[in-house]
Amino acid sequence: MIHSLALALMTFLIFAVAHAQDLTPTKETIIGWWNQPEKVEIGEVRQITLLGGEVAYLASAQFPDRGRNFSHGAILARPSQQKAIDLSTLVDFQFDIVKLSSYPVSHIVTTPWASGQGTHEGTKTLLYFSGWEPIVVLTRLEYDDLGVNEGACPSKSRSFDWKFIDLNNDETLDLVEVRVDETKALPRCLLKKKTATRRYRSTEKLKFIIMGSASPKGHLT
């Protein structure tokens, strides 16, 4: 009888520990784990998987006492550590979560933006986390200067559209990237638009290579 009770208790404890980190922490809990005197407002809290399978949470955040270009970002919370850190220099408060394959890790797509003097600039980034460490897979520089002349001439912009599609039927999502360049030039101020498409195959090492190439590509602008 005692042996059965002990076995049942042990089974319950193992189950409880295994599932404790699956419970989404409240916004108040995340702020407590962050443990900073600075004011922060937590938005949407989304579950992600760190490299190796640990469950963590990525939360949109606003910091009302910071300057305009630094007032939005994200906080990474790890229930296993009962701690949270500010990721605002790398992850914007708007982000997408992508599951590229059966490999136990979540990829994050985000573009932190900054503006000034009529220009906007952002770094579109694909990354994942190994513990607290961000592992950047791809980056692309996006920009526009439409505010310099209030949308008139001259002006230019560059943006990237990313779609994750299984291109070679291996049950792993690959990347189709479309770069869009727009310019308005004097004297006629006509809009010229150019697009360029690249296809990248994902690899076992969580990198991307251009379809038909054997060399990994990343950090390209």
Average of per-residue pLDDT across 59-80: 90
What pLDDT is recorded for position 151?
A: 63
What pLDDT is recorded for position 114?
A: 79
In this structure, is residue 199 part of a structural domain?
yes
As a whole number, the mean pLDDT across the chain is 83
Q: Do residues 145 and 126 touch, judged by C-beta distance below 8 A?
A: no
Using the predicted structure, report yes or no on whether residue 165 has a pLDDT greater than 60. yes
In this structure, is residue 60 part of a structural domain?
yes
In this structure, is residue 176 part of a structural domain?
yes
Q: Of residues 155 and 148, which shows the higher confidence score?
A: 155
In this structure, is residue 16 part of a structural domain?
no
Domain residues for the domain of 34 are 21-213
**Which DSSP state fits 26?**
P
Q: 120: pLDDT confidence band, cut at 50, 70 and 90?
A: confident
Q: Calculate the alpha carbon distances from 65 to 68, 83, 111 in Å.
A: 9, 22, 21
Average of per-residue pLDDT across 147-175: 86
Average of per-residue pLDDT across 165-182: 92
HSE value, Cβ hemisphere, 13 Å, CA-based, for 16: 6
What pLDDT is recorded for position 147?
A: 65
Report the C-alpha gap between 140 and 172 in whole angstroms: 22
Share of residues in the chain with pLDDT > 90 (%)? 56
Average of per-residue pLDDT across 156-166: 94
In this structure, is residue 100 part of a structural domain?
yes
In this structure, is residue 80 part of a structural domain?
yes
- Lowest model confidence (mean pLDDT) among 21-30, 48-57, 130-139: 21-30
End-to-end CA distance of the chain: 68
* Number of domain units in the chain: 1
Query: Is this model's pTM higher than 0.75 or not?
Result: yes
Using the predicted structure, report yes or no on whether residue 14 has a pLDDT greater than 90. no
For residue 141, list its beta bridge partners. 123
